[in-house]
Amino acid sequence: MTDRTLAALGLAEAPREHPLRYPGAWPRESGLLDGDRLLPLEVLVHPDRTPVVAIGSNGCPGQLRHKMAEFGIASPVPMVKAEVTGLDIGVSAHVSRMGYVSASPVAAPGTVRELFVLWLDAEQLAVIDASEGVPLPAGNYRRAWLPAPEVRIALADGTVLPGAYAYVNRHGVLHDGTGVPRRHPGQRALISGLLATSARLRELFGSTPEEFCARARGDRLLCALGTGLLAEEGWVTACGLERYVRADAGRPEAGPAGGDASAPRRSGRRAGAPRSAPGRPG
């Protein structure tokens, strides 16, 4: 019998515990995240849930498990691999208190990427919203509905979704020097390049990626100063998705896939667990 634990699959590590390994390991195929296991997933579309495109560490089962466990949420999460056209993985123009510079979606007409769609129930959606700062007036991200055909999301069974949510950074994204949003090159390469370019950034965060992560981790004021410095250095541009951000995206709603995005509750029960896990074989 195949060992489906995250540890056995090499998916257990959470980037919030290892910032330089952000965004963490993604699965090779679709699966059902059920506690510390990633089970086979046969059903790819879950109409009673809300589809969210994972751009950064939300595609890492170890990070997702960590986020859900923080609020006592134990219900399974379907993670569906998709071919997404019209999006690319850019660099958020903020320094995260997790100790890294995270990813953010950018508009990229014609670009095709393999990404994961998370199908979230109401409580799971509230947890991810909270982790991205959606409910906060000055939170780092806003949840935006990306409609087809501007963003095409095709699943392995031939289904093309009418759209899905993604988290758009309210600070903007970093550009490549020409004003075009840059691709996220991986945490170590990104931080090394930023530090090499800016003496002011080195004054705040040190001269190595390790120092950067250690100083940024958990220091709200320092991260705010770093975020401001990214803009002052002239490195920030729009992501091209701002028009899709809805002013009420962080409030309770009945979304395209249903569900009330109310605030997450901390509890020890299997909060929101369905009578039968979606897509679980048998």
Which residue in 77, 49, 48 sits closest to 63, CA to CA? 77
**Measuring CA to CA, how many Å separate 187 from each of 22, 36, 65, 141, 243?**
6, 25, 21, 19, 28
Residues of the chain with pLDDT under 50: 247-282
Kindly state the tokens that stand for 217.
């981790």
Domains in the chain, start-ordered, CATH in brackets?
6-244 (3.10.490.10)
Q: What is the pTM of this model?
A: 0.86
pLDDT score, position 259: 38
- CA–CA gap between residue 146 and residue 43 (Å, rounded): 22
Assess contact for 173 and 239: CB atoms under 8 A: yes
End-to-end CA distance of the chain: 16
Give the pLDDT of residue 46.
Answer: 97
- In degrees and rounded to multiples of 5, residue 97 shows phi and psi of -70, -5
Both structure tokens of 197: 């370019």
Residue 262 confidence (pLDDT): 35
Q: Are 88 and 111 in contact (CB under 8 A)?
A: yes
